[in-house]
Amino acid sequence: MAAEEKGQIVGICWCREIKDFGHWQEGVPSLAIFVLKPYRGRGIGGRLLAAMKDALKSSGYRAVSLSVQKNNPAVRLYQRAGFKIVQERQEDYIMLLSL
């Protein structure tokens, strides 16, 4: 998924089922999201996340996971969206959202 403003892609969100940094278990896709710095804090990430949650749920997925650096302000966004920390590593968290 992508967010666009004035013809420019300003944010993207995608999921994949591979053993990457955000992998939790088989059958649970891991989510990645990115918003360009000048566009952060405007709700773009939250809207991308909500749209992806809806798409995953309608596709039959029961959960989605992600990896986020502990010092990343997006941790609060994910917690507000319902993600729970399921594993704490040295530098990051694995978070899981039940759909």
Distances (CA, A) of 71 to 63, 68, 93: 24, 8, 10
pLDDT band at 21 (very low <50, low <70, confident <90, very high): confident
Tally: H helices and E strands in the chain: 2, 6
pTM of the predicted model, to two decimals?
Answer: 0.89
Hey, how many other C-beta atoms are within 10 angstroms of the C-beta on 86? 13
Query: Tokens representing 93?
Result: 């968290």
Query: Tokens representing 2?
Result: 């992508």
Residue spans of beta strands (DSSP E) within 1-99: 2-5, 8-16, 30-35, 63-69, 84-88, 92-98
pLDDT higher than threshold 90 for residue 71: yes
pLDDT higher than threshold 90 for residue 23: no
